[in-house]
Chains A and B, each alone.
Chain A
Amino acid sequence: MKQSRRFRPLAASLALIATFGLSGCKNLDVNSALQQGGNLARSFNHTVGPQEERRMGEESAALLLGAAPLVKSPGVQRYVNQVGQWIALQTGRSDIQWHFGVLDTSNVNAFAAPAGYVFVTRGQLQRLQDESELAGIIAHEISHVLMGHYVQTMLKKDRVAALGNLANTVAQSQGKEELGALVNLTRGIYSAGLDKEDEYQADRMGVVLAARAGYDPFGLPRVLQMYAANAGQAGFDLLFSTHPSADDRLDKLASAMADKFDALESKSIKNTTAFSRQIASLGPTPKPR
């Protein structure tokens, strides 16, 4: 792993102190705490409160934006926020500050980060046929945020003890921009992906949230069908290496959805003129780089 090279001295020593300091009890409590559905931080008497989660979200978003900046089109960014905010209104979580962004890369992918950050890549947008497909993707990512999948994964990772300390560090570090250990933890998670079950859950919830927002619930399944058709293609590498196969995701969705959404089809919205205008402004579908 190339992460260690990027460690800042302060963060590295923090991580070392945390690892050695807590290694004695690492195996003891961690697994049982997670099995009980408890939050690891709580088990160490650290709480990942809204403030810490926001900090985790900012660090994660900064990393993704460091790899690929925002597409320089206020129209596209604003449009994706309109779609995203409307779907977010169907979650019942008015306490989350949602931010949606389009990353300037031809790679096909979408990401979420703690505390309400959702990203879709330009390459992904350019391969969509209509707004209900975009809604399905955004709703999938919103579901990761709602369920705290990234926060939970950070807590589960090997450097779990370091993060236990980081919860405190984060709380005491206002003003400091970058927390090296947290950023490196985030690098690992975006490179390795979430648990398969987290993805299946986000698919199930994503379909429901898009449908609640009035969209054709089959937008996300159509995107997954497109992924299946592109298995092994360049530009999809990270997406495929960090998610269960599109076939498996479709199988799971098919059994979860059954015929429950069939009646919604006639009264749901597939596309808007805004989608067609904004996607056209991005230019033609890119060649994979």
Chain B
Amino acid sequence: MKSPRLTLLLLAAGLGTAAWAENATLTRASDLKAKPFTDAATVTRLQEQSQVTIISNDGGWTRIRTSSGQTGWVRLLYVRPNRQDDTVVGIGKSLGTLGNVVRTGSTGNTVTTGAKGISKDDLAHAAPNFQEVKRMDQYKVSTGEAERFARNNRLKAQEISYLDSTDGQRN
């Protein structure tokens, strides 16, 4: 088990930091669109399992670059980021190795640095804090305030059905 100090050092160096994995795989054949609209021009047709690079997201669309360098938009639901250690080479490899140092060998739990957190260990040792539960009351928002918040932010309620017949039906 590595010392917390080593962990802190690694973290301070920015190693093991979660970063956006830019490499991704298409889970179904998709039209690459010039703009994030269904009726936008199609740049090209991409095969299922195409390897792409994520540039950004906009609503239900993801802007990508193909392996041949074309850019455009595909539906977000069919873009799956690759795990970083699956795709990153060179420095990525060493990053992955260092990343493992942050975990203890026996339990796989993250080494803690003394800060409170919510890991399995934290839950096992936590003493219930009822004062803090009571404190939540003071932040409670009334129906009127919630509606005012929605109006101020142009949020309009929509009528939309649940997606499955079992949804919303509690026994």
Interface residues of A (CB under 8 A from B): 1-3, 6, 37-39, 58-59, 61-70, 74, 77-78, 81-86, 88-90, 97-101, 103-107, 109, 111, 117, 121, 127, 129, 131, 146-148, 152, 177-178, 183, 187, 190-191, 201, 204-205, 207-208, 211-218, 221-222, 225-226, 228-238, 241, 247, 250-251, 253-254, 256-257, 260-262, 264-265, 267-270, 272, 274, 287-289
Contact = CB atoms under 8 A, between A and B. Distances in A.
Contact of A68 (B62, B78, B113, B116): B116
B117 A67 contact: yes
Interface stretch (B40-48, B64-72, B129-137): B129-137
B162 A205 contact: yes
Contact of B59 (A152, A201, A216, A235): A216
A233 B167 CA distance: 32
Contact of A70 (B80, B132, B153, B164): B132
Nearest to A87: B146
A174 to B, nearest CB: 14
A238 B153 contact: no
30 contacts: A1-B124, A58-B130, A59-B128, A63-B123, A63-B128, A68-B117, A70-B136, A84-B141, A85-B143, A106-B115, A201-B166, A205-B168, A208-B162, A211-B160, A212-B159, A213-B155, A213-B157, A218-B76, A229-B21, A234-B110, A237-B109, A237-B110, A238-B120, A254-B27, A254-B77, A254-B78, A256-B164, A262-B60, A274-B149, A288-B16
Given A82-B141, A288-B110, A229 B20 contact: yes
Contacts, number: 263
Contacts of B5: none
B171 A38 contact: yes
Contacts of A3: 124
Nearest to A105: B117
Contacts of A88: 146
Given A58-B130, A191-B124, A208 B18 contact: no
Given A61-B136, A207-B163, A82 B145 contact: yes
Given A66-B129, A232-B84, 17 more contacts: A6-B124, A37-B171, A62-B133, A89-B146, A99-B136, A127-B18, A146-B170, A183-B128, A191-B123, A208-B161, A225-B57, A228-B80, A234-B102, A237-B110, A254-B27, A288-B11, A289-B11
B119 interface: yes
A86 B147 contact: yes
